[in-house]
Amino acid sequence: MGKLPCALLFFLLFTNSAFSWKKEEFRNCDQTPFCKRARSRQPGACSLTATDISISGGDLVAKLVAKETNQETPTKPLVLKISAYQDGVMRLKIDEDQDLNPRKKRFEVPDVIVPEFSDKKLWLQSLKEEEEENSGLISVVHLSDGYEGVIRHDPFEVFVRERGKNGKKVLSLNSNGLFDFEQIKDKKDENEDWEEKFRTHTDSRPYGPQSISFDVSFYGADFVYGIPEHATSLALKPTSGSGVEASEPYRLFNLDVFEYIHDSPFGLYGSIPFMISHGKSRGSSGFFWLNAAEMQIDVFNGNNSNEFLKLPSDQKRIDTLWMSEAGVVDAFFFVGPAPKDVVRQYASVTGPTALPQLFSIAYHQCRWNYRDEEDVYNVDSKFDEHDIPYDVLWLDIEHTDGKKYFTWDKMLFPNPEEMQNKLAAKGRRMVTIVDPHIKRDDSYFIHEEASKKGYYVKDKTGNDFDGWCWPGSSSYLDMVDPKIRSWWGEKFSCKNYVGSTPSLYIWNDMNEPSVFNGPE
């Protein structure tokens, strides 16, 4: 955006939608097959062992092989890769073996990792094998000063430990043997039911179930934080175990929820699978799973009386269970040891938070809805009359021509540039709303162009997906495609956004995205 005629700031705010909270309209874990399956597994259920461990291309590579295989449907080996990066970051990737030609390549999230992160890779030169009294054979690689990356062979486990005599664990994956990876497969029996249903909606799932789940343990931790967005306490409360009231895991699934329940693990508008631990004895560590699929995450309270998983008790760690509908394992371990170190390490992967412009942290005046230009001038003058400072005035959806974004209602807002300039003369800015749903109206220039170029998300028949939102019948741009994102970004320039000026900014709303007639 820096090269456009106007610098346009995206305010990520999320507003209420058209429905109020009704518990039955949203899926819980028992109604979500991948979550229900994952929660039903017992510790030690994972039968995978790490074999063929070596250093290749500066990484530790291995195969994960099942000890016991069903001869009718043998489990194919998975490929594992561990990479080390500067500042105490370890990356773990586990996926199906592409050399075995799976039916479909699993989705990997693009464009999140900053390009400069690859420059921080430490090329592993060697690994050493050790025999541990209680853990069996392990392979060890250098991670950073004071830390090592470790893979246990049988049963497979990956962890970071402190270097030295004690070799204390910092954080680990699959210590409780709950790792499960449902591979894409062919349907052997036509009667096999892969469909999933919720209320009146059906998901056909032509490639079958492909969920992933695993346990992650944070050592020396008293609390864990993160995995936004939920309306709950900063320190994440246990979701399972003795004395725990809430039996639902923390859900990571972007939803536009009006009148949501407070103090609940229910998912809201955003989903970031990044968790930080902290404790008096060790400090902090962090874990990030780069995955865009729906997730559910359990936090356990450390008691032996866990209702679901019977996890072994260890008062010096916090156990968690991460469950995802699909994707691959692409996980990052952050060693800390201070909270600011974990945040810095995380930012080295995804980039730091953008510094907001000074005016944007001042007072903003926003409501649904200012009727017209006269209403705007009246509100603006009243702030002056009562000597109330404010810096930004927002316009909601009714300023547009029939809820078509990047347009103005010519009757109500006939002179948008003059209006903005009058506010700018007082040092004030204006913000207008833009949503990701596009009104299906053949006279709307954005819809016409998006349809012609094939830029909309498709349904399973290959047609443009048609959902319902504020404008009525709407379609949604395929923002996973960088070409489409670039095309969309061009619409925000002063040249293309008719009626805009350098003092106009953007309210990037409802990017959950919202579909009013969807399953939830």
Q: What is the pLDDT along the chain (520 residues), one digit of tens a residue?
A: 333 334 343 333 334 434 456 778 889 999 999 999 999 999 999 999 999 999 999 999 999 999 875 655 568 999 999 999 999 999 999 999 999 988 899 999 999 999 999 999 999 999 999 998 877 899 999 999 999 999 999 999 999 999 987 889 999 999 999 999 999 988 877 777 788 899 888 888 888 999 999 999 999 999 999 999 999 999 999 998 766 765 799 999 998 887 888 888 988 889 999 999 999 999 999 999 999 999 999 999 765 444 455 555 555 899 999 999 999 999 999 999 999 999 999 999 999 999 999 999 999 999 999 999 999 999 999 999 999 999 999 999 999 999 999 999 999 999 999 999 999 999 999 999 999 999 999 999 999 999 999 999 999 899 999 999 999 999 999 999 999 999 999 999 999 999 999 999 999 998 788 899 988 8
Q: Cβ(488)–Cβ(511) under 8 Å?
A: no
Helix (H/G/I), strand (E/B), else coil: 158: strand
| Nearest to 250, CA basis, from 187, 311, 320 | 320
Same domain, 325 and 182: yes
> CA 509, CA 476: separation in Å to the nearest integer?
13
Same domain, 380 and 330: no
Same domain, 257 and 172: yes
What are the Cα distances from residue 43, in Å, to 133, 174, 246, 425? 21, 9, 22, 66
> CA 74, CA 387: separation in Å to the nearest integer?
75
Same domain, 315 and 397: no
Among 324, 350, 376, residue at a domain's last position: 350
Partners of 142 in beta bridges: 148
Residue with tokens 């944007």: 360
Q: Cβ(261)–Cβ(515) under 8 Å?
A: no
For residue 476, give both structure tokens: 């949604």
What radius of gyration do the chain's Cα atoms show?
A: 26
Same domain, 250 and 329: yes
Is 39 a member of any domain? yes
Is 382 a member of any domain? yes
For residue 368, give both structure tokens: 């649904």
Is 260 a member of any domain? yes
Neighbours of 40 (CB within 10 A): 10
Structure confidence at residue 89 (pLDDT): 98
Is 210 a member of any domain? yes
> CA 487, CA 477: separation in Å to the nearest integer?
10
> CA 252, CA 228: separation in Å to the nearest integer?
8
Helix (H/G/I), strand (E/B), else coil: 327: coil
Same domain, 140 and 269: yes
Tell me 326's DSSP state: S
Whichever domain contains 480, its CATH number is 3.20.20.80
Helix (H/G/I), strand (E/B), else coil: 33: helix
Is 232 a member of any domain? yes
Largest CA distance in the chain: 81
Structure confidence at residue 246 (pLDDT): 58
Same domain, 446 and 421: yes
Please state whether the peptide bond connecting residue 155 to the residue before it is cis, i.e. omega within 30 degrees of 0: yes
Q: Whole domain around residue 406: which residue ranges?
A: 364-508
Angle, vertex CA 467, rays to CA 464 and CA 473, nearest 5: 95
Is 10 a member of any domain? no
Structure confidence at residue 20 (pLDDT): 56
Neighbours of 156 (CB within 10 A): 23
Helix (H/G/I), strand (E/B), else coil: 329: strand
Neighbours of 463 (CB within 10 A): 10
Q: Cβ(102)–Cβ(96) under 8 Å?
A: yes
Structure confidence at residue 245 (pLDDT): 67
Whichever domain contains 64, its CATH number is 2.60.40.1760
Structure confidence at residue 311 (pLDDT): 52
Same domain, 86 and 160: yes
**Into how many domains does the chain fold?**
2
Q: Which regions of 335-426 does DSSP assign to beta strands (E)?
A: 364-365, 392-395
Is 188 a member of any domain? yes
Among 323, 350, 377, residue at a domain's last position: 350
> CA 360, CA 65: separation in Å to the nearest integer?
53
Kindly give the interhelix angle for 416-424 and 373-385, rounded to the nearest 10 degrees: 10
Same domain, 229 and 327: yes
Is 122 a member of any domain? yes
Among 316, 350, 384, residue at a domain's last position: 350
Which H/E stretch holds residue 161?
A: strand 157-162
Same domain, 116 and 42: yes
Same domain, 308 and 431: no
Neighbours of 242 (CB within 10 A): 12
Same domain, 60 and 85: yes
Structure confidence at residue 302 (pLDDT): 61
